[in-house]
Structure 1
Amino acid sequence: MSVLGVGVLGCAAIAQSRTIPALIADPLVRLVAVASRTGEKARAVADRFGCAAVTGYGALLKRRDIEAVYVPLPPALHTEWIGKALAAGKHVLAEKPLALNRTEAATLVSAARTDGRLLMENFAFPFHTQHATAQQLIGQGAIGEPRSFTAEFGFPPLPSDNIRYQPALGGGALLDAGVYTLRAAGLGLGWGLRVEGATLRRDRARGVDAGGAALVSTPDGRTGQLSFGFDRAYRCAYSVWGSEGSITLPRAFTAPPGLRPVLRLERQDHVEKRTLSADDQVAALVSAFVTTILQGEDLIAPGEDILRQAHLLEAVREAVKDSRRR
């Protein structure tokens, strides 16, 4: 099997701490170059990871030795640079949220399909084996018939200069933490979800939402309660409540590679804590992205996930607007 040449558009902290190390560690990846708007920053990151430095994102996209790019830019820049990357013939792995709304998502997914390129949103947590274990237990009837789903993702306030507080760059808790709970709802309840109601708590001084919640439902009457924010104590969990018990994953979204996550299984007369195997969810996502390209696997399914996620995100916004009109 050949090796995939990958470039990185941007030097965000998440890229340097998690995704670039995972790219380097994958034997099927050759990290070719990192680009920044300034040569100095590009060189600093490139020296750290042993690749070429490129000044300007457009210059990196012109390189013929790069077949795929990872885009960790702020959300408001995604449509422009993902679109340009696809137009340049590159496969794209982009940070979440990949698009700010369903119109942008549809445009980018359509472009990827037209050009036969893979477009994937960088949600790593579904690739952790703890979720497959939970789904297997549910499928075996460990909690009876699933009735409802609860997901919570939040953390304390961030430094005042963090991009999450900058509305022009796509800041706000919904786009940062809320998208995890929406994706988890799709994982836990299945797609085809309807947003029944939602609220966002505004940080008026900064012009972004600092927290919020949403209620979702399925056509067969199951429900999901989602809460998120960067104005609260850290929490990163989801729970599936069934007719005979419940399953909870306390580190559902950000389990680090060395952590052995604990699954809590509760029934009326039984409480059990299962310590599961450690896993590297970012490495697993990178591997899925790379092998899909190199082995010519399904390029369509990741685009469907992107469209469903964008639809839910837009539905939350619409529900918030409806509640404020009342």
Structure 2
Amino acid sequence: MTGPLRVGVLGCAGIALRRMLPAFAACPGIEIAAVASRDPAKARQVAERFGCRPVHGYGALLERDDIEAVYVPLPAALHARWTEAALNTGRHVLAEKPLTTDRHRTAELLALAGARGLVLMENVMFVHHHRHRAVRELIADGAIGELRAFQAVFTIPPLPDGDIRYDPGLGGGALADVGVYPLRAALHFLGPGLDVVGARLDRGAGRRVETSGAALLSTPGAVTAQITFGMEHAYRSSYELWGSEGGITVDRAFTPPADHAPVIGLHRGGRTEEIRLAPHDQVAATVAAFAAAVRAGALPDTHTTLRQAELLDETHRSASRGAPVTTG
């Protein structure tokens, strides 16, 4: 591929306007070619802001011949349909998480992308932040001895009542929206051998989806992972790894701003060492990784994406078997 990657955007969701479109615009390897909306006025407004063409309707964008890749920030329940449509027209795809709301559809789309030689990447941005690579290096170097346990939490304050994440028809719910972060972190550090031991999902008063939950997972070697998540809570974003000789703690783990100077807490021998790193823009890093994968013709790590989808499904099924989702 020569020249910048020409990207079309399917929808004007908040994350697209706040984070992804500015990151695309700032990336030298990407050109925003067009943005589509069901509302022509909104498409014009966003296109004018980012210097691209407005398109009325998602299908119309896929009919254009100047689009090489597509970004899908639509509600979760629409990801599968429009990701498949984009792949079938020969476009690389960066889709918001979760890639789909069904593990079988996730597997189908990953297989379709592989068969067509296209990059299909789920937009889990925190894994591209250099802090987590530094944590992995500490573990590999034996800084905390033999790994024994992992804990992660991601909770956010209540959303406006009309937010799509409270709508089951659009793929809403705390598990898919915020639970994916600590779950993916567990996969990132403990690997795909994780299995769900048990889970619980709870529904807030008047809500049609689960608003909080927790799960216990384990590796074949009995390293446990406890994850907690919710979307009607005080904000918390952290994880901890504990080993035979010490521990590692990370705060503001999943959605740090670009100018945040990250700190890793290393606890051993009764002392705590703060390892300070330079700020890192994980949104820009994600966008650059997508463009680089397309340029290199290198397919991303589909095994982790698929295992994540399977674990989300296992968590939901475990919670349903253990006790029905309750109403508060």
Using the size of structure 2 for normalisation, the TM-score is 0.96
Tell me the equivalent position of 2:191. 190
Q: RMSD value over aligned CA atoms? A: 1.1
SS of the equivalent of 2:323 reads helix
For the residues of structure 2 that align with 1:251 and 1:93, how far apart are their CA atoms? Answer: 24
2:54 pairs with 1:53: yes
1:318 match: 317
The match for 2:69 is 68
Give yes or no for the alignment of 1:305 onto 2:304: yes
The letter of the residue matching 1:320 is A
CA contact under 8 A between 2:258 and 2:281: conserved in structure 1?
yes
Large movers: runs of 4+ above 3 Å: none
1:204 positional shift: 5.2
1:225-304 equivalences in 2 (<5 Å): 225-297=226-298, 299=299, 301-304=300-303
- 1:268-308 per-position Cα deviation (integer Å, ceiling 9, x unaligned): 321112221100111111111111111222x1x43222211
Which 5+ residue runs of structure 2 have no aligned equivalent? none
Using the alignment, how far apart are the partners of 1:302 and 1:16 within structure 2?
27
Identical counterparts, % of pairs: 52
1:181 corresponding residue in structure 2: 182
Query: Which deviates further from its counterpart, 109-118 or 249-258?
Result: 109-118
Per-residue deviation, 1:191? 1.3
Letter of the 2:185 counterpart: A
Report the residue type matching 1:303 in the other structure. T
In 2, the alpha carbon distance for the partners of 1:203 and 1:82 equals 31
Deviation at 1:49, TM superposition (A): 1.0
Q: Distance in 1 between matches of 2:201 and 2:165?
A: 15
Q: Retained in 1: the 8 A contact 2:192–2:304?
A: no
Q: Secondary structure at the match of 1:209?
A: coil
Unaligned 5+ runs, structure 1: none
Partner of 1:168: 169
- Return the TM-score normalized by structure 1: 0.97
Matches within 5 A, 1:119-130: 119-130=120-131
1:5 corresponds to: 6
Q: How does 1:133-148 map to 2 (within 5 A)?
A: 133-148=134-149
Counterpart CA distance in 1 for 2:239 and 2:218 is 16
Contact 2:119-2:297 at 8 Å conserved across structures: no
Shift of 1:203: 2.8
Contact 1:2 1:294 in 2 (8 A): no
What is the one-letter code of the residue matched to 2:314?
A
Equivalent residues, number: 323
Query: Which deviates the most, 197-206 or 48-57?
Result: 197-206
